[in-house]
Chains A and B, each alone.
Chain A
Amino acid sequence: MNIGNVWTIARRDYRSYFNSPIAYIVIAGFLTIMGWMFFFNLSHFNAQAMQYQVFSQGKSPSITDGIIRPLYGNMNVIFLFLIPFITMRLIAEERKLHTIELLMTAPVTLTEIILGKFFSAYLLVIVMLALTLVYPIILFLTGNPELGPIAASYLGVLLLAGCYLSLGLFFSSLTENQIVAGALTFASGLFFWLVSWASQSAGPVWGDVLTHLSLISHYQNFGQGLINTGDIVYYLSFIGFGLFLTHRVLDSFRWR
Chain B
Amino acid sequence: MDFVFKIAGQAGAGVMITGRMMVKCFTRGGYNVIGYPEYPSLVRGGHNTVQVRISDKQIHSPRHDCDLVIALNKDAIFYHMESMAEGGMIIYDQLIDPSRFKLRPDVRMHALPLSKLTLDVGGTEQMKNTAALGAALAAVDYPFGMLETLIREELARKGEEIIKVNISAAKAGYDFVKSGGISFGKQIKPASDVRKTIVTGNEAIALGAVRGGMKFYAAYPMTPASSILHYLIEKERQFSIIAKQTEDEIAAMNYAIGASFAGARSMVGTSGGGFALMTEALGLAAMSETPIVVALVQRNGPSTGLPTWTEQGDLRMALHASQGDFPRVILAPGDVQEAFFLSAKAHNLAEKYQIPVLILSDKFLSETVFSTERFDQSRVKIERGKLVKGPLPALAPMTRWKRYAITDDGVSERALPGTPNGMHVGTSYEHDETGFSSESFIMRAKQVDKRAAKMKKLLKEMEAPDVFGATEGAEVTLVTWGSMKLPALDALALLETKGIRTRLVSFTHIYPLNPRAVKKALRNSGITVMVENNPTAQFAGLLKEYANVKLDFHMLKYDGRQFFAEQITEEVVKLKEAGFKGQQRIEVIEKEDMEYYNPQRHGL
A, B in one complex? no
| Chain B residues with a Cβ under 8 A of chain A | none
| Chain A residues with a Cβ under 8 A of chain B | none
